[in-house]
Structure 1
Amino acid sequence: MLQHYFTIAFRNFVKNKVYSSINVIGFSIGLACAFLIALFVYKELSYDRFHSQSAHIYRLTEVINTEGVGEASASVSIPVGPTLKQNYPDLVKAAARLFNFNAPSLNLAYIPDPGKRFNETRLFFTDPDFFTVFDFTLKDGNRRTALLEPNSIVLSQEMAKKYFGDENPMGKTLRFEDKHDLKVTGVINPVPAQSHFQFDFLVSFITLRQILHETQYNSWYWNPAWTYVLLPEQENARSTLEKQLPGFVKTYFPDIIKNDTKLGLQPLTDIYLHSSFYNEIEPTSKISYVYIFSVIGLFILFIASINFMNLTTARSANRAKEVGVRKVLGSQKNQLVTQFLSESVLLAIIAWIIAIGLVFLAIPVISSFSGRDLHLNAQEITILLPAGLLIALIVGLLSGMYPAFYLSAFRPLLVLKGFSITKSARGGLLRKTLVVLQFSLSILLIIGTMVAYFQLGHLQQANLGFDKEQVLIIPINRSAISTIHRFNDFKKRLLQNSRIVSITAMEEVLGRGHNTGHYQPEGKTEELLFSRLVVREDFTETFNIPIIAGRGFSEEHKPDPLIREVIVNEAMLRYLYWPSAQDAVGKKMGEFRADSLQGAVRIVGVAKDFHATSLHQDITPLVLVGPPVTDPANQFFIKFMAVRVAPGDAAPVIDFIEKEWNNAINDRAFEYTFLDENLNRLYQAEAKFGGITLAFTVLAICIASLGLFGLATFTAEQRTKEIGIRKVLGASVSSITVLLSKDFLKLVLLSFIIASPIAWYMMYQWLESFAYRIEIAWWMFALSGVLALLIALGTVSFRSIKAALSNPVKSLRNE
């Protein structure tokens, strides 16, 4: 009997291949989109959960707040981790630190092979407890001893191949920064993509004692180490340790910050989606994106399901006589119900099979576009594929239930006398309701995509307060030219090129971040924590930052050896209530480092406000610290050189700089980026979010339009005789087109009225996460409504015009 049902279902599929194809294609595309979004969401939510003890791993965070100005950092000072473990052995089972000099790249070389010298960006120093806290596995080497001894290094399989080819790397030596020989003690298996930090090299933390100055290594003021602790499985371990942290800070932290510092414990599994701290190891994402994509996925699935239900119920209306004949011939109600349900379920299963194929074709493309690894593993296949099949079966059953139970309940006499479901208000109301829901969701997506697009454009084109064009950024951290005199000599050689306009250097890429420092402004009795950026001469000139009072840093003005020169921004004036920029010039600020007052700094200029960080944050008071007269240790704070190039072809200038670089530095490869490209990467998450949203919105509109086209075709067929009579009586093509289109356009207009306030609320909430954001304008809604109407009009009119142009003789001969 079941075979018979499916045979009849297949025959109906072939008989009505246009409608069946529309139904299957729309639903399969919707299923595929929902599947891809579900996969994306699943991957995002699974970050760091592959560690067996992830529920008991926490990252230490540090918040310093002085009168509303301060820092919330994802890293803490170097001694914090081991001291916590020593003081609270019952609460801290293991502690692992990660340290990388906050450098853009570090130099590694395989000395026997001169060609094997590279700048590496993912090298970290870490503790032996690293492999106790985390579940990263070694292909070669011993987890317990690999990072125990000084000068030990563990590297990834990819890096082992890069440096040693097919040779066994174990026991071989790599030279770090041309000074320290590191012995390979392990090769690590590939790091899962769902880890909030990626690495290629791990160096034993004790090696840092040979590299850092002892005061830096033991400093409780400087906070460069990302520190993770493993707590016991007891229920209150976290709360118990958190209660100890205030006393811990009071005991160990220096007086200058201990009263304003708060240590916290952030769950490992919260870092990727819920972190808003400064100085993350890698850019994180936002839980809001997971929510938004989940909603989009549900919208698309709902739109596709509505299409499927609409077309299934609409086509079933033409089978009323079939039902009557079957009942006269003795078919029972349950047999008719089973027949309709089996047909609907068959179409759903076909759509699911096609959707699987579409998913596997789309995964590489979506992975490349989104920057996420969406490839399925065995566990995900066993979860997501059956879930997709279950959804398809549920939609198939729901789609078949209305015609199954409604038509099977008809009295045969009424049906055979000509009763039509199309004349029933119940069938029409259901379809109209579903169309309104469908287009309401589509309009929501259109408005949301439009707002996201304009917000991204605002971020990329906003006035940053400095000129980012034609500027090369060259990492020089810990290189030979990061010392004062070598840098100045190199700078003079480069300026001999007439295409090079200006050169400076700084500790962080302008627009991407800054550090902090404690200062006591003139007139204040307490130390305050301000954003700080150490720079070289010609900083404001290189970036075209206006000086509104005083002057910038230049070699023409040699600073007093006893007083460091600084420039502050306008936000500093507002914060300190200084009356004017001119009034600020000449004022002194006590500068603190570590535990003590280092001396005074003098304000020599006031710069117009500019964005030292991304547009996700507000402009805050900033201190630009000028170059010292003599301070060899200051090379540690200078990481980047900035070179402004005259407009035109930059290639010859880059070749010139590389040649001079190779003459000055023989132990480090030359590398560079353009500042504008560097800054655009700050908004990659928004760009990819906008791109993916746009793609899925277009697909959702296509699915909705496909369903509308099917309904318009069905409506035209139902009114074939009416159209023929109207044409015979003189009706024009345009009047018939309007007649067939207006009902659908009314539904789209109603959808717009419903969707607009919901879209405004949702996008307003999303924009709240940006410090600098666009205003949601009325024309965005108007444009979205017009676009939706045009799409609906184009879809419906195409079929309506075709019906209006048909031969009335053929129409009147119908049946």
Structure 2
Amino acid sequence: MWQHYLKIAWRNLTRDRAYTFLNISVLVIGMASFLLIGLYIKDEMSYDQYNDNSDRIYRIWTNLEAEGSGEQSASMSFPVANALEEAYPTYVDEAVRFFNMQSPFITMGRDSLRFNEPHVYFVDPEVFDVFTYKFIEGDRTALLDTHGVVLTRTMAVKYFGTTDVLGEEMYAESNIPVTVTGVVEDLPSSSHMPVDALISMYLIDRIFSEELTSSNWVWNPCWTYLLLKDEKCAADLEAKLPEFIAANYPELMRNRMHAYLMPLEDIHLNSHLQYEITANGYQENVRLFSIVGFFILIVACINYTNLATSRATRIAKEVGVSKVLGASRKELIFRFLGESVLTSTISIFASLVVVEVFLPLFNTLTGKDLVSASLFEPLNLVAVLAVAVGVGIVAGFYPAWMLSKLSPTVILSRSSKSTSGVRVRKALVLVQFCVALGLIIGTTVVNRQFDYLQSQDIGFDHEKLIMVPVKWDAARTYTEMREQLIASEAIENVTRMNDVVGVKHNMHEYNHTGLEESDYMYFASLITDEHFTETVGLEVIAGRALGQPGDDSAAVLVNETLVKQMGWGSPSEAIGKLFRTPQGKEVVVGVIKDFHFVSLSQQIQPFVLDVVKGAPEVFFTRYFCIRTKRGMEDEAIAELKKAWLKYHPSQPLDEFFLSDAINEAYRSQNTLRDLMAIFSIVAVAIACLGLFALSAFTAEQKTRELSIRRIIGASNSELFKVVAIDFVRMAVVGVLITAPVTYAVLYNWLQGFAYHVELDWMSFILVSLFGGALALLAVVFQAYKATRLDPIAALRYE
């Protein structure tokens, strides 16, 4: 029976090629868009699931509630891992730490070959018992060697040209000898923690004192992961963490610190803490793309349904003859559903070709490394075929039901050209229009918001600043290099800092007058020097800048927000206020105008610029910052390379412009904007095709009416009105439905931003008029054809 239905379906598809081509084209566009979005969502939601024990791995994080800004940290202190293992052996199988020296890179080398590697970590040897690494050379005991390093395949080939490198010697941090004890496959891109090399944590004792790594519970530079006995015991262990904090942390932190466990699989989309290993994704983006993909598929289904019902009058007599010959309604429904499913199946395979063609461009836009081959994995292929069958049934059900219910007498009579189903078609086109209009409005607001964020004055001029990541050896030569650099005509000033201003910062503890001696409040801060405000271009609104004699560890600058939060009155009244820090007593010598020391996604918080001299100065120097003269950036980089080669000939130089780093902070937002625009255009194109098809059907249904009107003297404008008036009404109704709903959704979305554009009804009206104009444009051609109608020929045809 099904073979018979398929033969009839194939015959109908090949007989009406124009109709088939239009239907399949729309479905292919809709399905290809849906599959691309599906690949993106699947990748986002599959982060870290390649680990065999992913359901039992948790990262521990803390929330330190304190005056000032507090701290929500993804990283922990060194002793936490071992202490948790010893305290709760019934819950914890293994605990491992990842440490990157709190540096943007680790310098790795072999002979004269040197590179600054951003994804190298010192780790505990048990890391391979917790996370899944596929060994090419060596085994899971590789890091029990106190000088062992495990390379990924890419790193091994980069330094040695082969993966057969066991026993080869390398250097970490330029002068620490390490031995290659293992080579593993590159990690999948769906890892929240990219890894190029892992070095034995035993070496840390050579770099830091044992006191700092074994008993310091305040400094928290390690990302700490736990492999639990069972995922069900996570809640029980989390309930024990308050007593763990009380037993181990200093008294000043015990009552303010709360520790939590975060499932490994949740980190990428749900963790946005301070000191994340890399920038994570956003659950909101996944939800948004899910909705967009669903809507595009629905719009494509509606388009198919409308085309199928508008075609119904052409095949109505065939249906009538089938009924007269004994075909049951059930058989007719199966027949039309078979044609619909066949169409959608052809479309899904054609869409796979489209996905293959456009996937490289999609990867470029999203920064992903997606492969279409994953769609042919057994479970995914079943899902793809299920989409094809589901679309075929959903899109074809109404036409099948409508045609199968008609009486043969009515079908074979002159009334076979009835208007049955017109209201349903109009309702479906209205839904299409609402979806397309909503996406147009949403894309417009998303663009406005992200343009607003990236065009705002962040409080300093970042366009001419060059950042140079440095290690301790380079930090020791800061004074000499600075003198050489500022002697250049291309360079205005040079400063140093411990983080990238405008992108990230650290939290430091401060005690002020009125607090208990053992109590601290935590503020966002940068450790820098007396040249910072001048180099970066911050405005001092009260007091003075740093740089006078005696400005060593005794002088700080604070921002306006800190002054307000502390209740110090006006900025001038804050001058002379005292702080006490681990470095000693410090005094506020100036107040700087608020500036955005992180992206505009966060409100400006209290902020401190601190100066550290002596031995800690080297430890806190992670970046040199160079202010170039306008138009002389190339000359400044040439001078930088000359100075770097003089002082550090064996170390790689990896300079970058601060503006590039700040723009990178908005990369995920730009991706969202680009994809929203692309898929909105797709949805609008499909909706316009639907309007075009329905207007063609409407014009055909009104052929007799239009001919008679022309014969009795109707003008072209009157004929145009007859064809277009229903679509104008539909556009007006669509605007009235879509505008308030979209307004409410976008208003809630904007509340997630610390700074955002204001929604105004005028912009909604303008965008709605644009959408209405697109809808009208889709029917203009058919209306124009109606005005050119030859009434005599049309009536003969009727």
TM range, normalised to the smaller chain?
A: over 0.9
Tell me what 2:464 maps to: 470
SS at match of 2:651: coil
Tell me what 1:603 maps to: 588
Structure 1 residue 405 displacement after superposition? 3.6
Deviations 1:723-766 (A, max 9, x none): 23333333333332232122112112212221222212222222
Structure 1 residue 634 displacement after superposition? 2.0
1:224 aligns with 2:221: yes
1:672 aligns with 2:655: yes
1:350 aligns with 2:346: yes
Tell me what 2:546 maps to: 553
1:131 aligns with 2:116: no
Counterpart Cα distance in 2 of 1:478 and 1:380: 50
1:637 to 620, 641, 665: 620
Q: For structure 1, which segment, 776-785 or 657-666, has the greater mean C-alpha deviation from structure 2 after superposition?
A: 776-785
Counterpart Cα distance in 2 of 1:174 and 1:490: 28
Structure 1 residue 627 displacement after superposition? 4.0
Counterpart Cα distance in 1 of 2:705 and 2:404: 28
AA at the equivalent of 1:468: H
Counterpart Cα distance in 2 of 1:54 and 1:137: 15
Structure 1 residue 584 displacement after superposition? 1.3
Structure 1 residue 215 displacement after superposition? 3.9
Tell me what 1:595 maps to: none
Structure 1 residue 804 displacement after superposition? 2.2
1:175 to 136, 152, 171: 171
1:585 aligns with 2:575: yes
Is the Cα–Cα contact under 8 Å of residues 92 and 229 in structure 1 kept in the other structure?
yes
SS at match of 2:609: strand
AA at the equivalent of 1:467: D
Counterpart Cα distance in 1 of 2:57 and 2:252: 30
Total equivalences in the alignment: 795
Counterpart Cα distance in 2 of 1:765 and 1:584: 38
1:778 aligns with 2:761: yes
Quickly say closer, same or farther: Cα 1:399–1:105, change in 2 above 3 A: closer
Q: For structure 1, which segment, 439-448 or 400-409, has the greater mean C-alpha deviation from structure 2 after superposition?
A: 400-409
Q: For structure 1, which segment, 672-681 or 210-219, has the greater mean C-alpha deviation from structure 2 after superposition?
A: 210-219
2:493 to 495, 502, 505: 502
SS at match of 1:289: helix
SS at match of 1:93: strand
Quickly say closer, same or farther: Cα 1:639–1:560, change in 2 above 3 A: closer
Quickly say closer, same or farther: Cα 1:159–1:730, change in 2 above 3 A: same
Is the Cα–Cα contact under 8 Å of residues 55 and 231 in structure 2 kept in the other structure?
no
Structure 1 residue 49 displacement after superposition? 1.6
Quickly say closer, same or farther: Cα 1:429–1:250, change in 2 above 3 A: same
Deviations 1:152-174 (A, max 9, x none): 11111001001001372111111
Counterpart Cα distance in 2 of 1:404 and 1:308: 12
Q: For structure 1, which segment, 430-439 or 414-423, has the greater mean C-alpha deviation from structure 2 after superposition?
A: 414-423
Written as runs of structure 1 = structure 2, the 5 A alignment for 1:199-598 is 199-218=195-214, 219-233=216-230, 235=232, 237-377=233-373, 381-424=377-420, 427-480=421-474, 482-483=475-476, 486-525=477-516, 526-554=519-547, 557-559=548-550, 564-592=554-582, 598=583
Structure 1 residue 649 displacement after superposition? 4.3
Tell me what 1:622 maps to: 607
AA at the equivalent of 2:228: L
- What's the RMSD between the two structures over aligned residues? 1.9
SS at match of 1:209: helix
Task: Indicate the percent of aligned positions where both proteins have the same amino acid.
Answer: 36
Counterpart Cα distance in 1 of 2:734 and 2:123: 57
SS at match of 1:568: strand
Tell me what 1:681 maps to: 664
1:694 aligns with 2:674: no
Deviations 1:648-682 (A, max 9, x none): 14222211211121111112112211111110100
* Stretches of 4+ aligned residues off by more than 6 angstroms: none
Is the Cα–Cα contact under 8 Å of residues 313 and 399 in structure 1 kept in the other structure?
no
Deviations 1:319-356 (A, max 9, x none): 22233334345544444334333322222222222112
SS at match of 1:76: coil
| Structure 2: gaps (5+ residues) | none
Counterpart Cα distance in 2 of 1:659 and 1:136: 41
SS at match of 2:125: coil
Counterpart Cα distance in 2 of 1:202 and 1:471: 33
Deviations 1:455-489 (A, max 9, x none): 11111111211111111111123232x12xx2122
SS at match of 2:92: coil
Counterpart Cα distance in 1 of 2:428 and 2:545: 66
Quickly say closer, same or farther: Cα 1:472–1:21, change in 2 above 3 A: same
Structure 1 residue 243 displacement after superposition? 2.7
SS at match of 2:587: strand
Counterpart Cα distance in 2 of 1:167 and 1:226: 28
AA at the equivalent of 1:212: F
AA at the equivalent of 2:278: E
Quickly say closer, same or farther: Cα 1:477–1:87, change in 2 above 3 A: same
Is the Cα–Cα contact under 8 Å of residues 467 and 626 in structure 2 kept in the other structure?
yes
Structure 1 residue 645 displacement after superposition? 1.1
Is the Cα–Cα contact under 8 Å of residues 48 and 192 in structure 2 kept in the other structure?
yes
AA at the equivalent of 1:567: L
SS at match of 2:753: coil
What TM-score, normalized to structure 1?
0.94
Counterpart Cα distance in 2 of 1:612 and 1:804: 64
Structure 1 residue 783 displacement after superposition? 2.6
Is the Cα–Cα contact under 8 Å of residues 473 and 640 in structure 1 kept in the other structure?
yes
Is the Cα–Cα contact under 8 Å of residues 28 and 351 in structure 1 kept in the other structure?
yes
Tell me what 2:31 maps to: 31
Deviations 1:368-406 (A, max 9, x none): 210122214558632333323223323323443334343
Q: For structure 1, which segment, 298-307 or 649-658, has the greater mean C-alpha deviation from structure 2 after superposition?
A: 649-658
Is the Cα–Cα contact under 8 Å of residues 305 and 399 in structure 2 kept in the other structure?
no
